[in-house]
Amino acid sequence: MNPLSSLLPRQFSRAPQPDSAGDGTFVLPLEWSRGRSCHRGAGQGLMVAGREAVDASTGTPTNLCELSVVAVRRTGSGEPWQEVASGGRAYDRRFTETAPFVLTGPAAGHRLLRTVADPSGRRVLGTSARACLAVTPWGTTLHGERTLRPSADQSVRRDPHEANRFGWLVELDPYDPDATPRKRTMPGRFERERMAISLTSDGRVAIDMVGVGGAAGTGAAEPGAARYRFVSRDRVRPGTTAAEHRHNMGLLDHGTLYAAGGPGRTEGWVRLCDDEQSYVPGRSVTEVLLAPRSSDRADDALPLL
Q: Per residue of the chain (305 residues), give pLDDT as tens.
A: 233 333 333 334 445 566 665 567 888 887 655 544 444 455 788 999 999 888 777 877 788 999 999 988 888 777 888 888 766 678 899 999 999 999 999 999 999 999 999 999 999 999 999 888 999 999 999 999 999 865 555 566 678 899 999 999 999 999 899 999 999 999 999 999 989 999 999 999 999 999 986 433 333 444 456 899 999 999 999 877 889 999 999 999 999 999 997 655 556 899 999 999 999 999 999 999 999 988 876 554 554 43
Q: Is residue 31 part of a domain?
A: yes
Separation CA 195–CA 132 (nearest Å): 10
Number of domains observed in the structure of the chain: 1
Nearest to 240 by CA among 85, 34, 102: 34
In a domain, 5, yes or no: no
Domain that holds residue 32: 10-295
Residue 1 lies in a domain: no
Which residues, in sequence order, are bridge partners of residue 273?
A: 257, 278
In a domain, 2, yes or no: no
Angstrom distance (rounded) from CA 230 to CA 251 = 11
- Rounded CA separation 165/107 (Å): 10
Residue 177 in domain: yes
pLDDT for the residue numbered 216? 35
- Measured between alpha carbons, how far is 114 from 251 in angstroms, rounded to an integer? 24
The answer to the question of residue 301 being in a domain is: no
| Inside any domain, residue 61 | yes
